Amino acid sequence: MVNAEGFYVTTSEDQRARDLRDDLRDDLRDVGGPVSAQGITVDRGTMLALDDVWLDLDPGTFTALTGPSGAGKSTLIWVLAGALAPTSGTVTFAGQPVTDRARAAADGIGIIAQGNALATPMTGLENIVVPLLAHGIRPAEARLRAESALEQVGLGDSTNHLVEEFSGGQQQRVAIARALALRPKVLLADEPTSDLDAGTRETIVALLAAQADAGAIVLMATHDQWCADQADAEWHLDEGHLSRAR
């Protein structure tokens, strides 16, 4: 079958993928403005984890954050997410100060944490459904979104496995699906491909790029230069100092 746009549509799965993409575009139509870090310093006592960091991230852009272990990548992500108060400086999203994690989450700032942070007594599906319910999504819609997100990361066949029954890389994909299902306006992904094989890594990076294409602000911390090369821009952190790599 050929649709109105002239695309050949072969299966209902293709249609479902199109519907998902359209829903995402609707949800991300009005991100509202950039995420902006203005003079962020985080003093860890013996050292500065971040030293006067300035960064603007615009809607519709996919940005990589690189740098050696201990450079401050996770620290910057937590500050941008409103989860860690900087020693000095401010973060804004669409002109509003970001100071509180719960408020930031309600405003659409999502995070994929380094190390996954899944709830182990629950299944993969439940890990995704619970935050959706907390965001006021109705149960039937939450279940559909969770199933779709698991399909997107290649885990559509194992929705009811307990977290401990997933491998490390599969757990990482559940955590990615959990963040994607919330359709965040801002997606802060902290080394989201560190446990993945090359093929799965490509799928996940393409999913992150698609969020930005739909209008989201996407920031991905990574040690993987191939992943960084797929982003629109790359910023580099070294001992708390941020500079533009490309």
Ligand X SMILES: Nc1ncnc2c1ncn2[C@@H]1O[C@H](COP(=O)(O)OP(=O)(O)OP(=O)(O)O)[C@@H](O)[C@H]1O
C-beta of 63 vs 148, nearer to Mg ion: 63
Per rule CB under 5 A, is residue 75 in the interface with Mg ion? no
How far is residue 135's CA from residue 130's CA, in Å, rounded to a whole number? Answer: 9
Q: Which stretch binds ligand X (CB under 6 A): 10-18, 23-31, 65-73, 103-111?
A: 65-73
C-beta of 50 vs 57, nearer to ligand X: 50
Please say whether the beta carbons of 237 and 77 come within 8 A. Answer: no
How far is residue 71's CA from residue 79's CA, in Å, rounded to a whole number? Answer: 14
Per rule CB under 6 A, is residue 74 in the interface with ligand X? yes
How far is residue 181's CA from residue 133's CA, in Å, rounded to a whole number? Answer: 11
Out of 71, 81, 187, 216, the residue judged to bind ligand X by CB under 6 A = 71
**Minimal distance in Å, beta carbon 73 to ligand X?**
4
Tell me the number of residues near Mg ion by CB under 5 A.
3
Q: Which stretch binds ligand X (CB under 6 A): 1-9, 66-74, 180-188, 201-209?
A: 66-74
Mark 132-171 as b/e (b = at least 16 C-beta within 10 Å). beeeebeeeebbebbbbbbbbbebeeebeeebeebeeebb
Per rule CB under 5 A, is residue 74 in the interface with Mg ion? yes
Which residues contact Mg ion by CB under 5 A? 73-74, 114
Which residues contact ligand X by CB under 6 A? 44, 47, 49, 67, 69-75, 114
